[in-house]
Amino acid sequence: MAEKSFKYVIVGGGVAAGYAAREFSKQGVKPGELAIISKEAVAPYERPALSKAYLFPEGFARLPGFHVCVGSGGERLLPEWYKENGIELILSTEIVKADLAAKTLISAAGESFKYQILIIATGSTVIRLTDFGVQGADAKNIFYLREIDDADRLNEAIKAKKNGKCVIVGGGYIGLELAAAMRINNYDVTMVYPEPWCMPRLFTADIAAFYEGYYANKGIKIIKGTVAVGFTADASGEVKEVKLKDGRVLEANIVVVGVGGRPLTTLFKGQVEEEKGGIKTDGFFRTSVPNVYAVGDVATFPLKLYNEIRRVEHVDHARKSAEQAVKAIKASEEGKSTEEYDYLPYFYSRSFDLSWQFYGDNVGDTILFGDNNPTLPKAKFGSYWIKDGKVVGVFLESGTPEENKAIAKVARVQPPVESLEQLKAEGLAFASKI
């Protein structure tokens, strides 16, 4: 097999790869210098679309509509954009071995790729129930959602099992967004998760109560405090029942599992320093190996705002960390300096006609403001997190662009708070005056 050689290689073809490519282009990368190697068959796209509009029965999203960088209001980078900019897009190519000392990557087909500078943007893989030996978890029509191929297979099943029964295993991001999408497709939907409320890593009980109530009003059944321990299949091998730990058995034509992900770092084990489940980097996304950078889900980086090291799984960080790494690479080549990454954690989600945003850190005491009654035609409410007398995090449902900007500013500035009662009474007005 011929060996290919590039100055820069990005391994992984997700959101981070696309935003890094755009930044390289801005910084004047020369034709033939940069390659993106992706095991997916399509150019980088905005992954969040897969759990939302990609699954809608009408007005659905399809490529090329959501290639990067449309998710942040930028230009859409179609496959031909890479060609026009002299960037080699090497698709349907899985890297199975990385030798960082020899600066070489080997693909499943035995191709060899040499680089001078490597950006690791491998992202996460989904945690599968088969990993835990769950009985019957390999039945047909049990789906996971990570890549466009997964979404295509799910869409085919949605059409084939029209108006059927769907069980969603998991109560996080994917669980909530997919429960909404399946309900919009007129499925009978049941959500199952072990925690006392949905999205427990971020939501308080008060916030979760609104979404659970809203979903219940949409006809979605929610079963909390138990897990799926087995599946039964029909004669054709398609899932027909979900067995729960509490003894209940649910009928299902489709099961979608969203129980979390794992950063894909296996290629680099033992070659690069790791921390908190990811590859340890500095504020420029440099790893412990010279000329090797790590961005997005796989990077454990210094979160300047809180003076601690964290790993963040979110599309916003994937975009921004990729841009930061490329700026740092270019600055170091030109002997210039660049600012360290100064990230404000940001999470958001959209389902049905709801849309929430969260900025900052969800630690300390919480104050709920507004009205979180799920039966209101347009509920608007939020929450502040207060630690050491300062507001450190803000959540808002149904905010306007201006209001969302205001809560982001609060989380960044961390204003002091005199009294929690006063903060509750002021509600959103507190954010608007910062």
Sequence-distant (≥ 6) Cβ neighbours of residue 290 within 8 angstroms: none
pLDDT, residue 2, reads: 73
Q: In whole angstroms, give the CA distance from residue 357 to residue 316.
A: 12
Between CA 240 and CA 247, with CA 243 as vertex, the angle to 5 degrees is: 140
Same fold, 3-125+262-333 and 353-432: no
Q: What pLDDT is recorded for position 286?
A: 98
Residues facing 367 on adjacent strands:
384
Report yes or no: 293 and 23 within 8 Å, Cβ to Cβ.
no
The tens-digit pLDDT sequence of the chain (434 residues) is 679 999 999 999 999 999 999 999 999 999 999 999 999 999 999 999 999 999 999 999 999 999 999 999 899 999 999 999 999 999 999 999 999 999 999 999 999 999 999 999 999 999 999 999 999 999 999 999 999 999 999 999 999 999 999 999 999 999 999 999 999 999 999 999 999 999 999 999 999 999 999 999 999 999 999 999 999 999 999 999 999 999 999 999 999 999 999 999 999 999 999 999 999 999 999 999 999 999 999 999 999 999 999 999 999 999 999 999 999 999 999 999 999 999 999 999 999 999 999 999 999 999 999 999 999 989 999 999 999 999 999 999 999 999 999 999 999 999 999 899 999 999 999 999 98
Distant-in-sequence, close-in-space partners of 417: CB < 8 Å, separation ≥ 6: 384, 386, 389, 390, 391, 423
Kindly list the domain boundaries of the chain, sorted by start residue: 3-125+262-333, 129-259, 353-432
What is the Cα–Cα distance from 204 to 395, expressed in whole angstroms?
10
Contact 425, 400 (CB under 8 A): no
Q: Using CA atoms, how far apart are residues 41 and 152, in angstroms rounded to an integer?
A: 13
Q: In this predicted structure, what is the pLDDT of residue 235?
A: 97
List, as own/partner pairs, every contact residues 66-75 make where C-beta atoms lie below 8 angstroms and the sequence separation is at least 24, other chains included.
67/18, 67/43, 68/15, 68/18, 68/19, 68/22, 68/44, 69/18, 69/19, 69/22, 69/319, 70/46, 71/15, 71/46, 71/315, 71/319, 72/19, 72/319, 74/22, 75/22
Residue 390 has phi, psi (to 5 degrees) of -125, 150
> Which residues, 6+ apart, have CB-to-CB distance to 137 below 8 Å?
128, 129, 130, 230, 231
With b meaning 16 or more CB within 10 Å and e meaning fewer, what string describes 385-394?
A: bbbeeebbbb
Say which DSSP state 270 is in.
T
CATH class (in words) of the domain with range 3-125+262-333: alpha beta
Give pLDDT, residue 131: 93
pTM: 0.96
Please name the amino acid found at residue 385. W
Structure confidence at residue 1 (pLDDT): 65
353-432: which CATH number, 3.50.50.60, 3.30.390.30, 3.90.1170.40, 3.40.50.1980? 3.30.390.30
- Domain 129-259 fold: FAD/NAD(P)-binding domain (3.50.50)
Pull the structure tokens for residue 287.
């790893």
Outline where 86-191 has alpha helix (H).
148-160, 173-184
